[in-house]
Amino acid sequence: MLFSYCLFMGLLSWLFFNFSKTMIIEVDLFSLSSMNFGFLMVLDKISISFSMVVTLISGSVFLFSQKYMEEDPFKDRFTWILMSFVISMNLLIFSGSLFFILL
In this predicted structure, what is the pLDDT of residue 85?
92
In this predicted structure, what is the pLDDT of residue 37?
80
First to last CA, the chain: 27
The pLDDT tens digits for 32-70 are: 888 888 888 888 888 888 888 898 899 889 889 888 888
68 vs 101: which has the higher pLDDT: 68
- Give the pLDDT mean for 23-40: 83
C-alpha distances in Å from residue 29, one per residue of 19, 25, 42, 86: 31, 13, 16, 22
Rounded distance between C-alpha atoms, residue 12 and residue 17, angstroms: 9
Rounded distance between C-alpha atoms, residue 26 and residue 37, angstroms: 10
Which phi and psi angles does 31 have, rounded to 5°? -135, 140
Q: Is the pLDDT of residue 22 over 90?
A: no
Q: Is the pTM of this model over 0.85?
A: no
The pLDDT tens digits for 78-94 are: 999 999 999 999 988 98
Which phi and psi angles does 101 have, rounded to 5°? -65, -40
Q: Is the pLDDT of residue 98 over 80?
A: no
Q: Given pLDDT bands bounded at 50, 70 and 90, which one contains residue 77? A: very high
